[in-house]
């Protein structure tokens, strides 16, 4: 999954940036990163382009995303059934059971914002 801040309701990072993008610049916070601004430009322009050009845009977006590392996932879906639970002995307040299903949106069913390091 390419995690770019483009939809405010589902943004996994940079919700102020996603508000700026979704509102056409009338709300939120304009990013200062030229590479992210380039991605936004490509995403806005792509729908009106022929398929071959859209494919070029997509390739450029993926290259920028891989190069820039805007987000590094610490918790989330893994090769198991929508997620694998790995807990450090240093992490406290981790539930003994969590729902692992697309409907539960792992890791959110574990409430990771309530976990803390010992």
Read off the pLDDT band of 12 (50, 70, 90). low
CA of 45: how far to CAs of 41, 57, 69, in Å?
6, 9, 23
pLDDT at 106: 59
Average pLDDT, rounded, for the chain: 78
Q: Which helix (H) or strand (E) holds 91?
A: strand 91-92
Residues 19 and 42 in one domain: yes
User: Is 49 within the bounds of a domain?
Assistant: yes
Compute the distance between CA of residue 85 and CA of residue 74 in angstroms, rounded to an integer.
Answer: 12
Of 50, 68, 86, which closes a domain?
68
Residue 1 lies in a domain: no
pLDDT of residue 58: 92
Residue 9 located in a structural domain: no
Using an 8 Å Cβ cutoff, are 37 and 31 in contact? Answer: yes
Of 28, 49, 68, the domain-final residue: 68
Residue 19 included in any domain: yes
d(CA 36, CA 34): 6
82 and 64 part of one domain? no
User: How many CB atoms sit inside 10 A of residue 5's CB?
Assistant: 25
| Segments forming the whole domain that contains residue 45 | 15-68
Q: Given this model, what pLDDT does residue 69 score? A: 76
Q: Which of 68, 92, 108 is the last residue of a domain?
A: 68
Instruction: Name the pTM for this structure.
Output: 0.58
Through-space distance between the first and last CA atoms of the chain, rounded to whole angstroms: 32
Residue 81 within a domain: yes
Whether 6 maps to a domain, the answer reads no
More confident residue, 35 or 15: 35
Tens digit of each residue's pLDDT (9 = 90 or more) over 95-107: 777 666 656 665 6
pLDDT for residue 27 is more than 50: yes
Residues 78, 60 share a domain: no
Q: How many domains does the chain have?
A: 2
* Cis previous bond, 107, omega within 30: yes
Contacts of residue 2, Cβ cutoff 8 Å, sequence gap at least 6:
61, 62, 65
Q: What percent of the chain has pLDDT over 90?
A: 29
Specify whether the CB–CB gap between 112 and 105 falls below 8 A: no
In a domain, 2, yes or no: no
């Amino acid at each position: 999954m390419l995690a770019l801040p483009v939809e405010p309701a589902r943004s996994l990072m940079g919700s102020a940036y996603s508000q700026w993008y979704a509102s056409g610049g009338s709300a939120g916070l304009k990013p200062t990163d030229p590479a992210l601004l380039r991605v936004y430009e490509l995403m806005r322009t792509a729908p009106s382009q022929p398929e071959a050009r859209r494919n070029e845009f997509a390739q450029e977006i993926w290259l920028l995303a891989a190069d820039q590392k805007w987000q590094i996932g610490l918790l989330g879906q893994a090769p198991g059934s929508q997620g694998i639970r790995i807990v450090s002995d240093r992490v406290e307040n981790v539930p003994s059971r969590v729902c692992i299903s697309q409907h539960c949106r792992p890791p959110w069913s574990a409430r990771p914002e309530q976990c803390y390091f010992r």
